[in-house]
Structure 1
Amino acid sequence: MAKECQIGRLVLSKSGRDKDNSFIIIDILDENYVYICDGDIHTLDKPKKKKNKHLIFTNIICEDIINLKATGNNIKNSVIKKFIQSHQVNKEV
């Protein structure tokens, strides 16, 4: 599994309809796939399954999501949406 593949990490899509959009990794399926969420179109109820090779991994990690998942508390779409909005990344690839 890729070292940069971590729950709570901010990623950018580099292919598909959602190209250049920001997402948070909310679950890791295996070494090739993750579930990502943006809190708006791809909510926690309907996360997007995405191949790792189609993502650009940033160094930004949402500690709130890691803590909420570790304690078993529910993560809210609003938390993800606010985090992504506050950490807008340069979308040039």
Structure 2
Amino acid sequence: METVPQIGQIVKVLRGKGEGEYAVVIGIIDARTVLIADGGKRRFDRPKKKNVLHLELQPFISPEVAGSMSETGRVTNAKLRYAIQKYMQAKGE
């Protein structure tokens, strides 16, 4: 299933050190590469560059993160943690 990641979208990391963890897309570099952060270990000011093939896009886009990014071009780490937490609760994990 080929989908395009969007700012504020929750992703699950499939490859690499953070495998199995959730993060939020905070930047799109090109068709294959995105920037992700989780507000915890991986903060907004030091996002991780990831190949989208190594991510599982979740069917959830955080309106808080997307709104903040489009208004100011940045988002707080607390907001990233909140978005992931909210998604996990909605999913029942």
Q: Give the TM-score category using the shorter length.
A: 0.7 to 0.9
Tell whether the 8 Å contact from 2:26 to 2:69 is kept in structure 1 after alignment.
no
Letter in 1 for 2:38: D
CA distance in 2, matches of 1:68, 1:55: 23
Gaps of 5+ in 2: none
CA gap of 1:36–1:90, structure 2 versus 1, over 3 A, is: farther
Question: Which structure carries more helix by proportion?
Answer: 2
Gaps of 5+ in 1: none
**CA positional deviation for 1:44:** 0.6
**CA positional deviation for 1:90:** 7.6
Deviations 1:39-92 (A, max 9, x none): 00110110000000000001011011111122226410001101112222588x
**CA positional deviation for 1:4:** 3.1
Tell whether the 8 Å contact from 2:64 to 2:83 is kept in structure 1 after alignment.
no
CA distance in 2, matches of 1:33, 1:48: 10
Deviations 1:2-57 (A, max 9, x none): 63311100000011111100000000000111000000011011000000000000
Aligned to 1:46: 46
Letter in 1 for 2:68: L
| Cα-Cα RMSD | 1.8
CA gap of 1:25–1:73, structure 2 versus 1, over 3 A, is: closer
Aligned to 1:22: 22
